[in-house]
Chains A and B, each alone.
Chain A
Amino acid sequence: MLAIECAGLTKHFGDLTAVDHVSFEVEKGERFGLLGPNGAGKTTTIRMLTTVIPPDEGTAKVLGFDVRRKPDKVREKIGVVLQGLALEFFSTVYDTLDIYGRIYKMNAENRKKRIEYLLSEFELEDKRNERIDCLSGGLQRRVQVATAFMQPPEILFLDEPTIGLDPQSRRKIWQFIEEFSKGGYTVILSTHYMDEADYLCSRIGIIDYGKISALDTPEGLKSTLGGGDIITFGVEGNVDLLRSTISKLDYVEEIMAGDELAARVENADEVLFKLSEEVVKAGAKIKNISVRKPSLEDTFIKLTGRRIE
């Protein structure tokens, strides 16, 4: 059975089309990522799927229930971690989790057990009786993520779960999401971090200006570039001119989009020296050279023509 099924999903805000005929399907148990820069339409897509706002056009089904016609059914089965902090600031950590247990009708004993488990998993035990507004940003975020796990939801939506977090909290949250999805649960997350999408997602939809431009596994997305190595030159000189010069070389497969002078070649070991000579011959001064494998970011730049930040 499909966890998410959306077809032609569209949302307008005035003249702006924030989400533009987005269609995708997610199988149960998948970890699906929406990867895109700020303003791409990730949050709006998630808000429609979690029944917060209705779509203007198109349909979306969550676990077979239409978000517009059966929002109640959808809400019972999902957990949501919003992009921004959304906690009751004057409540304690323990009480915050307790309320979530009550919302999902857990009995007192289960609530207590679950809260203890989450407090230890998220390393919040010694903060249990602190008020939310007295915690650091990273800890507040951990509490927010923990609330979504109170009643294990069949589908967990996370909107940029680790935005602006310290590396330790970030690792913690990644581990927990991974662990959670091993239980057969579905995870839908949005992010603008390449490494997060690469690490966490089994499939990624690249979204920009409200449209999904590619949808594949992380490996699949990277291989659309055709493999090989990418050589990047830090140079002084006219980069545009250099680009057109080296693009004519037969061993250069492709010039990478972006500000830097970067070229993809079959095998960097064989051509690095030759290529550097050509760059120097074209009148540039090389300050540094780096060689790497194509990354998700390269695919992203190729598809959208821009860097993500």
Chain B
Amino acid sequence: MFKGLPVMYYRELHNLRRAWFAIISATVIPILYLFLFGLSIGGLMGDIEYEDQYLSYFLFFAPGAVEVSIIFSGVNSGGMISNDRYSKILERILSWPISRTSYFLARILVSMTTSISLLLFVLLLGIPLVEGGLYCDNIFLVLLSALLGIICFSSIFMSFLSLIPPPNDSIALTCLPPVIMLCSSMFYSLANAPSWLRTMAYMNPATYMTDVMRGA
């Protein structure tokens, strides 16, 4: 069932070398979100009440920014499928001596490898930068929730891309992330949100992942 997984993993990593922009954007964009949203909106809103504590918006949003990065890695996983489809290599892969599972799994593993190294990088860099404000008691919980997030969003985007035929696939790929990001607890506390938004958010895996990280 996992036949050919190592070679597919190698292939994905190898291809990623050339797609360095994907890696950079996955690091830079969430940091950009964090600072722009965190500082600008944070200044407007003041502190936010969260589980009987008052947090600056910057801190409140930090897990959301991590989630942004994870959603982007999911988008990249989906994008790779559409690349494979457009370059017709997908048809070729179907007659390679590898299992179909390995094809998808290799992609998730690569997303994990890159995101986790990025996450660690950002945490190590971020903690001293923000005057000890950005801390977490349980880094394993954070990593675990990040891993689950990657599995979840990579699978979501990959199934999307497999089910939606071109040319609508790439459009779906650009439209889906904002919906996922906005209908969740990533950017704001759901305590004051209208009830329909809360319902949507509770169907959204991103909400849970963010909440786990925020709790940690």
Chain A residues engaging chain B, CB cutoff 8 angstroms: 50-52, 72, 75-76, 78, 80, 82, 84-91, 95, 99, 102-104
Q: With both chains docked as a complex, state the minimum distance between the C-beta of A301 and any C-beta of chain B, in angstroms.
A: 32
Q: A50-B95, A52-B94 are in contact. Are A90 and B88 (CB under 8 A)?
A: no
**B11, A99: Cβ atoms under 8 Å?**
yes
* Total B residues in contact with A, Cβ cutoff 8 Å: 20
Top 5 nearest A-B pairs by Cβ distance? Answer: A86-B88, A75-B97, A86-B92, A76-B97, A50-B95
Contact: B94 with A51, CB < 8 Å? yes
- Total CB contacts across the A-B interface at under 8 A: 54
B95 near A51: Cβ-Cβ < 8 Å: yes
> Nearest Cβ distance between residue B2 and chain A, in whole angstroms?
12
Most buried by A among B18, B89, B95: B95
Residue in contact with A103 in the complex, picked from B15, B19, B91, B98, CB distance below 8 Å: B98
- B: which residues have CB within 8 A of A? 3-4, 7, 10-11, 14-15, 18-19, 87-89, 91-92, 94-99
Known: A90-B18, A95-B14, A102-B10. A78 touches B89 (CB 8 A): no
Query: Could you tell me the distance in whole angstroms from the C-beta of A47 to the nearest C-beta in chain B?
Result: 8
**A95-B18 Cα distance, complex, nearest whole Å:** 12
Q: B residues within 8 A CB of A103?
A: 4, 7, 96-98
Nearest chain A CB to B87's CB is how many angstroms away? 6
B91 near A52: Cβ-Cβ < 8 Å: yes
Choose one: B7, B92, B98; the contact of A82 (CB below 8 Å). B92
CA distance A196 to B19 in the complex (A): 40
Specify the chain A residue showing the minimal Cβ separation from B92. Answer: A86
14 interchain pairs, CB-CB under 8 A: A51-B94, A52-B91, A72-B3, A75-B96, A84-B91, A86-B88, A86-B91, A86-B92, A88-B87, A91-B14, A99-B14, A102-B7, A103-B98, A104-B97
Does more than half of chain B's interface fall in helix, strand or loop, or is it mixed?
Answer: loop
The answer on a CB contact under 8 Å between B87 and A87 is: yes
A-side interface mostly:
loop
The minimal Cβ–Cβ distance linking B97 to chain A, given in whole angstroms, is 4
Residues of A near B10 (CB, < 8 A) are 99, 102
User: Which chain B residue lies CB-closest to A79?
Assistant: B95
9 extra A-B contacts, CB within 8 A, seeds A80-B92, A84-B91, A99-B11 = A72-B3, A72-B97, A72-B99, A75-B95, A82-B92, A85-B88, A86-B87, A87-B87, A88-B87
Chain A residue at minimum C-beta to C-beta distance from B84: A88
Among B18, B19, B99, the one with the most A-chain Cβ atoms within 10 Å of its Cβ is B18
Which residues from B are CB-within-8-Å of A89?
Answer: 87
Q: Which residue of A lies closest to B3 (CB)?
A: A72
